[in-house]
Amino acid sequence: MSNFRRAQDEAHPNKTSTLTLAIIVVQILLITLQIWLLYSGLNNTLEHNRDVAIPALIASFILFLACCGLLYFLPGRKR
């Protein structure tokens, strides 16, 4: 039975290369969002506003899971 991984392994190297680059770009975007969340949480905490830190932590954790989840779609090594 075919699955996405087998189809990916048989794809042209140009396609897998584009996919790898796309995953890296999305990961960088997710990290940029995490940096913004960390900055906002820190500034609000220093301003004695506690309501931002916990939602920022939860959102940052979800983005981390998304970042790790993208590794699943990373093309395998060419053998």
Partner 1 sequence: MGTKQYPQPPDWQRDFPYRQEEARLVTRREFSRMLCLISAAMVTGSGYVAIRSFWKGKKGPAGRFAVCSVSELPLGGTRSFQLPGSNTPYILIHLENGQFRAYEQKCTHLSCAVFYKAGTGKIECPCHNGWFDANTGEVVQGPPPRPLPALEVMVESGQVYVNGPA
Q: How far apart are CA 38 and CA 58, in angstroms?
A: 11
Q: Interface residues with partner 1 (CB under 8 A)?
A: 20-21, 23-24, 27-28, 30-31, 34-35, 37-38, 41-43, 45-47, 50, 53-54, 56-57, 60-61, 63-64, 67-68, 70-71, 74, 77
Best CA proximity match to 56, nearest among 68, 70, 44, 69: 44
CB 30: neighbour CB atoms within 10 A? 18
Six-digit token pair at 42? 């820190």
Q: How far apart are CB 36 and partner 1 at their closest, in Å?
A: 10
Q: 2 or 31: whose CB is closer to partner 1?
A: 31
Q: How far apart are CB 8 and partner 1 at their closest, in Å?
A: 13
Q: How far apart are CB 10 and partner 1 at their closest, in Å?
A: 19
User: H or E segment at 74?
Assistant: none
